[in-house]
A and B are shown apart, each in its own frame.
Chain A
Amino acid sequence: MRAFRYHRPRDIAEAVAVVAAEPDATYLGGGTNLVDLMKLGVARPGLLVDVTRLPLDTIGTLPDGGLRIGATVRNSDLAADLTVRRDFPMLARALLAGASGQLRNMATVGGNLLQRTRCLYFQDVTKPCNKREPGAGCAAREGQHRDLAILGTSDACVATHPSDLAVALAALDAVVEVQEPAGPRDIPLAELLRLPGDEPDRETTMVRGGLVTAVRVPPLPYARVSTYRKARDRASFAFAAGSVAAAVGLDDGTVRDVRLAFGAVAHRPWRAYVAEDALRGQPATPESFGRAADAELAAAQPLRDNGFKVPLVRNLTVATLTDLVDSHRRAAAWVP
Chain B
Amino acid sequence: MTDVAAGAAAARGGLPDRDLRSRVAVRVNDDVRQLDLDNRTTLLDALREQVGLTGTKKGCDHGQCGACTVLLDGRRVQSCLVLAVTLDGAEVVTVEDLAPAGDLHPLQSRFLERDAYQCGYCTPGQLCSATGMLAEARRGWPSAVTTDLVADRTALTDAEIRERMSGNLCRCAAYPNIVAAIRDVAAAGGAA
Is A52's beta carbon under 8 Å from chain B?
A: yes
- Stretch among A13-21, A98-106, A137-145, A154-162 lining the B interface: A98-106
A99 and B167: CB pair below 8 A?
Answer: yes
Q: What residue of chain A has the Cβ atom nearest to residue B73's Cβ?
A: A105
**Chain B residues whose CB sits within 8 angstroms of the CB of A9 once the complex forms:** none
Are the C-beta atoms of A106 and B141 separated by less than 8 Å?
no
Partner of B144, one of A1, A93, A105: A93
CA distance A30 to B83 in the complex (A): 9
Q: Are A105 and B83 in touch, CB under 8 angstroms?
A: no
For the complex of A and B, the 8 pairs showing the least CB-CB separation, nearest first, are A100-B167, A236-B166, A237-B166, A96-B144, A85-B149, A105-B75, A3-B20, A80-B141
- Cβ-defined partner of A82 (8 Å) among B144, B150, B164, B167: B150
> In this assembly, does B123 line the interface, its C-beta being within 8 Å of a C-beta of chain A?
no
22 CB < 8 A contacts A-B: A3-B39, A6-B86, A28-B86, A35-B42, A35-B81, A36-B62, A36-B63, A48-B39, A48-B83, A50-B86, A76-B75, A76-B141, A86-B149, A86-B150, A97-B144, A101-B136, A102-B78, A102-B132, A106-B77, A235-B163, A236-B163, A237-B166
B15, B63, B75, B139: the one within 8 Å of A5 (CB): B15
Given contacts A6-B39, A28-B83, A50-B86, contact A39 B167 (CB under 8 A): no
Cβ–Cβ < 8 Å partners of B61 in chain A: 39
With a CB–CB cut-off of 8 A, which chain A residues contact B13? 46
A residues whose Cβ falls under 8 Å from a Cβ of B? 1, 3-6, 28, 30-32, 35-36, 38-39, 46, 48, 50, 52, 76, 79-80, 82, 85-86, 89, 92-93, 96-97, 99-103, 105-106, 235-237
Set of chain B residues within 8 Å of A96, measured between Cβ atoms: 142-144, 146
Q: Is B162 an interface residue (CB 8 A)?
A: yes
Residues of A within 8 A of B149 (CB): 85-86, 89, 92-93
Select from chain B the residue with minimum beta-carbon distance to A31.
B81
The answer to whether A3 touches B129 (Cβ under 8 A) is: no
* B142:A3 contact, CB within 8 angstroms: no
Q: How far is the CA of A100 from the CA of B68 in the complex (A)?
A: 13
Residues B20 and A106 in contact, CB atoms below 8 Å apart: no
Chain A residues lying within 8 Å of B40, measured Cβ to Cβ, are 1, 3-4, 38
Interface size on B, residues (CB 8 A): 44
Chain B residues whose C-beta falls within 8 Å of the C-beta of A3 in the assembled complex: 12, 15, 20, 38-40
Complex contact B150–A85 (CB within 8 A): yes
Chain B contacts of A52 at CB under 8 A? 86
In B157-173, the 8 Å CB interface with A consists of: 162-168
Q: Max chain B CB contacts within 10 Å: which of A46, A48, A105?
A: A105
Q: Other CB < 8 Å A-B pairs besides A102-B129, A105-B77, 20 of them? A: A3-B38, A3-B39, A3-B40, A5-B39, A6-B22, A6-B85, A31-B83, A35-B81, A50-B86, A52-B86, A89-B149, A92-B142, A100-B168, A101-B132, A101-B167, A102-B76, A102-B78, A102-B132, A102-B167, A236-B144
Within 8 A of A (CB), among B72-106: 75-78, 81-83, 85-86
- With a cutoff of 8 Å between Cβ atoms, the chain B residues found around residue A48 in the complex are 39, 83
Q: CB of B66 within 8 A of chain A?
A: yes
- Quick check: B19 and A5 within 8 Å, CB to CB? yes
In the bound assembly, the distance between CA atoms of A86 and B151 in angstroms comes to 10
The listed residue with most B CB atoms (<10 A of its CB), out of A31, A82, A100, is A100
Q: A102 CA to B77 CA in the complex, in Å?
A: 4
CB atoms of B83 and A100 under 8 A apart: no
A163 CB to closest chain B CB, in angstroms? 15
Q: Across the interface, which residues of B come within 8 angstroms of A6, CB to CB?
A: 22, 39, 83, 85-86
CA distance A148 to B161 in the complex (A): 31
For residue B56, CB closer than 8 A to chain A, the reply is: no
Any chain A CB within 8 A of the CB of B108?
Answer: no
Q: B62, B77, B85, B165 — which one has the most chain A CB atoms within 10 A of its CB?
A: B77
A3-B40, A5-B19 given as contacts; is B83 within 8 A of A101 (CB)? no
In the assembly, what is the distance between CA of A102 and CA of B163, in Å?
Answer: 12
User: For B63, what are the chain A residues with a Cβ–Cβ distance below 8 Å?
Assistant: 32, 36, 103
User: Among B15, B78, B140, which residue has its beta carbon within 8 angstroms of that of A106?
Assistant: B78
